[in-house]
Amino acid sequence: MKILLGQTLSFVADPFAVDPTASALWDRRGAVVVDETTGHIVEVGQPDALKRNFPDAEVVDHGDAMILPGFIDAHVHYPQTGIIASWGKRLIDWLNSYTFPEEARFHDAAYAREIASRFFDLALSHGTTTSVSFCTIHPESVEAYFQEAGKRGLRALGGKTCMDRNAPDTLRDTAQSAYDASKDLLSRWHGKDRLSYVVTPRFAPTSTPEQLEAMGALWAEHPDCLMQTHLSEQTEEIDWVKELFPNARDYTDVYDHFGLLGPGALMGHAIHLSDRERARLAEAGASLIHCPTSNTFIGSGLFDMAGLKGEGQVVGLATDTGGGSSFSMLRTMAAAYEVSQLRGTALHPAQLLWLATCGSAQSIGLGDRIGTLARGYDADLVVLDLASTEAISQRAVRAEDIWEQVFPTIMMGDDRAVHATYVAGRRV
C-alpha cells in the first residue's frame, strides 16, 4: 500500500456539458492511496486523514506535482513507431511510401517484439498508460503487442489489421483468413489480464465487401469487443470510397451496411462528415476519435470538436502514431487546442485534460475502470511537473487559478513534464 502526495485533479462531469471550471475536483495538497496487489485506487482525500487511516502505508511525496489519471491514447498504430515524422505526404501516398513497407516487416516476430517494446517505453515515458492500437495483418504483430503489454501489467487494446485489396501482396489477407486469424487471436487474448481484443478492418478502401461482411459477423459474435477503423480522414479518401462503394449513401453508410457501426465502434478521424453521417453516428452511439497532430501533419483537415460535442457525440483523443507526429498526449492536447482555435473555439484546459483521460476512457467503453481518480478505479496514474522547463515555470508562476497553472504544461510540455507514471499502482 502506498500513499501518493501532491496536487490531485479528477473529473466529476463532462466539461463540454457543464461549466468547465466546475467539472473537476482539485486539491492543492491531496493524497491517493494505491494498492499494488489489487492494482486499484483505495481512496482519494486529505493527506493527514489518509495517513491516519493507513498507518502502515509507504508515503511517496511528489511535492507540487499534479497527480492525474494516466493518459489514454484511443487510436494508435504501434507498428508505425519507427516511421513517425516521415516527411511530406498526403494519406494515400503516405501509406504507400512509408506505412506499408514498414508494416510488411512485422511477419518477423523478433522485429515485432522489438518495436512493441520500444513503443511501450515511449508511451509510458509520456504518461500514457492505456493504448488502443492497430497491429498489422500478421498475427505475430498482435502477439508481440499483447505479450509486451501483459509483461508490463498494462491495460492495452488492439487487433489484427485486415486488408484484402488495395495493398501490397505482402500485406493482403482474405475475407476468410482475416476472420479465422482474428477469431483465433480474440479467443486467446481478449479478457486475459488487462488486455482486450479489437476487431480491426483498416478502412473501407482496403477491404472488399466480403471482408467487411466477415468483420461485421465476427463483431456480432463477440459484441463485448470493440471495433476500430478509419472514417472520412481526407477528401481524396472519401472520393475513393464513393468509387468503390457506389451504392452506399456515404462513407459512414458503408460501415453501417456491414454491421460495423454501433456502440463500441471507434471511428478514427471523422473530419469530413455530412449532416446525415453526424446524425447517424450519434444515433448509433459510435465513438469519434480525434487525432489532431496527425490531421495537421498529413494535412487532413480540422475536426469539429465544438460542433460534434454539442450534438452529443462521444469523442476520444489520440496520437495516431505514426501519422501523428508525437507520442505525447500533452502535445496532442495542444494540437487539439490549436485545431479548435482554427475553427473559432478555444478549448478550456479542463476540456483538454478530460479528453485525454475520462473522455477517452468513455470513448473506449472503460469509463468505469480507468480515466478517473476515485476509489475502485485502476491505479494507472501520471504525475505532472507543472514547472518542468524554465519557459513553463516562468509562465505558470503567474497563474491565478489551477487551469492557468496547468495550461502552459499542456501547450509546451513533453516527456520532461512527466515526473512519474504508475501502472496498476506500481511506479514504472
Q: What is the CATH number of the domain that holds 255?
A: 3.20.20.140
Q: Are residues 7 and 97 in the same domain?
A: no
Same domain, 29 and 127: no
157 and 130 within one domain: yes
**Domain check: are 93 and 40 in the same one?**
no
Residue 230 lies inside a defined structural domain of this protein: yes
C-alpha distances in Å from residue 372, one per residue of 3, 28, 42, 60, 366: 17, 18, 13, 20, 10
Domain that holds residue 397: 2-70+372-427
Domain-embedded: residue 118: yes
Predicted confidence at residue 156, as pLDDT, reads 98
**In 285-365, which residue ranges form alpha helices assigned H by DSSP?**
292-297, 305-310, 329-342, 349-354, 360-363
Same domain for 114 and 192, yes or no, is yes
Long-range contacts of 52-57 (CB under 8 A, 24+ apart): 54/1, 54/3, 56/1, 57/1, 57/2, 57/3, 57/33
Domain end marker among 293, 327, 361:
327
Nine-digit cell at 350?
Answer: 479542463
Q: In degrees rounded to 5, what are phi and psi of residue 262?
A: 155, -175
**200 is a domain residue:** yes
159 and 228, same domain (yes or no) = yes
* b/e per residue 82-105 (b: at least 16 CB within 10 A): ebbebeebebeebbeebbbebbbb
Kindly state whether residues 135 and 176 are assigned to the same domain: yes
Q: Which amino acid is at 117?
A: S
Residues 257 and 397 in one domain: no
Same domain, 103 and 236: yes
Going by DSSP bridges, is the β-strand pair 381-384/418-423 parallel, antiparallel, or unpaired? antiparallel
Asked if 201 and 319 sit in the same domain, the reply is yes
- For residue 275, is it within any domain? yes
Helix (H, G, I), strand (E, B) or coil at 26: strand
Angle value at C-alpha 414, between 413 and 418, nearest 5 degrees: 95
pLDDT given at position 40: 98
pLDDT mean values, one per 10 residues, the chain (428 residues) = 97 97 97 98 98 97 98 98 91 89 97 98 98 98 98 98 96 98 98 98 98 98 98 97 98 98 98 98 98 96 98 98 96 98 98 98 98 98 98 96 97 98 98
Pair (33, 164) in one structural domain: no
pLDDT recorded at residue 199: 99
76 plus 202 within the same structural domain: yes
Identify the CA nearest to 319 among candidates 25, 123, 46.
Answer: 123
pLDDT of 296: 96
Is residue 356 included in any domain, yes or no? no
Whole-prediction pTM: 0.98
Q: How many domains does the chain have?
A: 2
Q: How far apart are the first and last CA of the chain?
A: 16
